[in-house]
Structure 1
């Protein structure tokens, strides 16, 4: 996807996302690109500054990513230390806890995509527990 800065004939500036430059051109020719302010179909691409990441920005991003991974690892470790592992029975146990059939407690385990979707539809709060490469050693 490409983000374009756009400009209409009434001096309104806005942005739009397109698959390609040709995609924008095709949509503009068919009057499918309109100004969100005045609904004008006379829209053109405006000049944009290129998005360039400097070495300093890359370093900041790397530090932030490293901090985030460390925090995720700590959170996953706390869950493993303080919750019961229920394996492939996760969906069944989560429902029992949610509906008050068993005592409330923290659990973790495995669930298929369909099981997770069904749990969410039933109002059961779940979230994925990140698994890191070193967790498999």
Structure 2
């Protein structure tokens, strides 16, 4: 795993975790990297401070795991700083809730906005779905009263899973 400090064209800074530098480039090229604050997909790498190891007499190495997603196996560590047990417990519970919610949900990819809208207006049967929507699409859905919610953890499209 590699972490990049990223920034969007609105000036927001955030971290992004990728399997490799090429994974970042591929995801960015496919429009999968966006700002979690404003949704902008105009994202670039920000200058990063070098990682400096901690003294040997510091606290234990409690690391926050990436919650396991369906079929992904064990969780992977994503933080090199101690995480309180309460926060770790909350993140794990949130990940399990998302996994449960998605268990019977169908991936609709970039058709999420149109499928959600069709269900809302009775043009298709209601069913649990998940997929991708731009910030503008999501705002339009909310403005129309279509019930949608962002997922707390990223979900990989089924065809990109190992």
Please give the TM-score of this superposition, normalised by the length of structure 1.
Answer: 0.50
The number of aligned residues is 78
2:123 is matched with 101
Separation (CA, whole Å) in 1 of partners of 2:156 and 2:92? 13
Specify which of 82, 89, 113 is matched with residue 135 of structure 2: 113
Stretches of structure 1 that go unaligned for 5 or more consecutive residues are 1-54, 56-60
CA gap of 1:132–1:116, structure 2 versus 1, over 3 A, is closer
CA gap of 1:121–1:103, structure 2 versus 1, over 3 A, is same
1:64 aligns with 2:73: no
Specify which of 65, 77, 89 is matched with residue 99 of structure 2: 77
CA gap of 1:78–1:111, structure 2 versus 1, over 3 A, is same
Aligned-pair CA distance for 1:64 = 1.8
Rg larger in structure:
1
Query: RMSD between aligned alpha carbons?
Result: 2.6
Please give the TM-score of this superposition, normalised by the length of structure 2.
Answer: 0.43
Name segments (4+ residues, structure 1) moved above 2 Å. Answer: 130-137
